């Protein structure tokens, strides 16, 4: 019985000493002296109006809602060309959706083929390949237009309008 009491007392003493030493030992955060103080140069305080202004800039301002720029879903305020939204576009048979550089398109409905005014094609980002002019554009693939002068159109013999999702500037021409 005496041996058990000695063991319990020694375990209690060791645990107590460990807790006491641990509470006195500085932690890494306290020891390196780099804790951030609100309002300091490392952690500045900003106002709600400043945050709201920055969010409005990121959204491209709500003044362009409704796509009042004639099917060219971009915001050109401040000299930048930034896409506002993903837009559902119907491309009539016999017409070409001409995309500007950086525009993204996803064919949702219809049989589309690539169009290019030169020998290069458009980028199928989903498959990681180049689609040359006149070749089919797969449905539900992300298509990226690296330069102007390229687009998509309905395949020969397909009489219905294409339904595509477009993000970026574009025009529809014949």
pLDDT at 53 over 50: yes
Query: What is the C-alpha radius of gyration for the chain, rounded to an integer number of angstroms?
Result: 31
Domain count for the chain = 1
pLDDT single digits (tens) 76-120: 444 344 546 889 999 999 999 999 999 999 999 999 999 988 888
Domain membership of residue 112 as a residue range: 83-173
pTM of the full structure: 0.53
Helix (H, G, I), strand (E, B) or coil at 13: helix
- Residue 165, domain CATH: 2.60.120.1030
- Cα–Cα distance, 6 to 10 (Å, whole number): 6
Average pLDDT over residues 50-66: 70
Residue 154, in any domain of the structure = yes
Between 137 and 84, name the one with better pLDDT. 137
Residue 38, in any domain of the structure = no
Residue 13, in any domain of the structure = no
């Amino acid at each position: 019985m005496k041996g058990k009491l000695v063991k319990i007392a020694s375990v209690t003493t060791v645990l107590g000493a460990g807790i006491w030493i641990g509470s006195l030992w500085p932690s890494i955060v306290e020891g390196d002296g780099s804790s951030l103080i609100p309002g300091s140069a490392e952690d500045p305080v900003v106002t709600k109006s400043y945050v709201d202004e920055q969010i409005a800039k990121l959204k491209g301002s709500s003044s362009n809602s409704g796509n009042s720029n004639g099917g060219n879903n971009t915001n050109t305020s401040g000299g930048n060309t930034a896409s506002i939204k993903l837009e559902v576009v119907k491309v009539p048979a016999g017409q070409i959706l001409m995309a500007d550089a950086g525009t993204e398109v996803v064919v949702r409905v219809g049989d589309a083929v690539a169009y290019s005014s030169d020998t290069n094609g458009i980028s199928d980002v989903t498959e990681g390949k180049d689609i040359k002019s006149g070749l089919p554009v797969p449905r539900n693939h992300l298509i990226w237009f690296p330069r102007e002068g390229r687009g998509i159109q309905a395949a020969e013999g397909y009489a219905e309008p294409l339904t595509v999702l477009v993000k970026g500037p574009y025009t529809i021409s014949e």
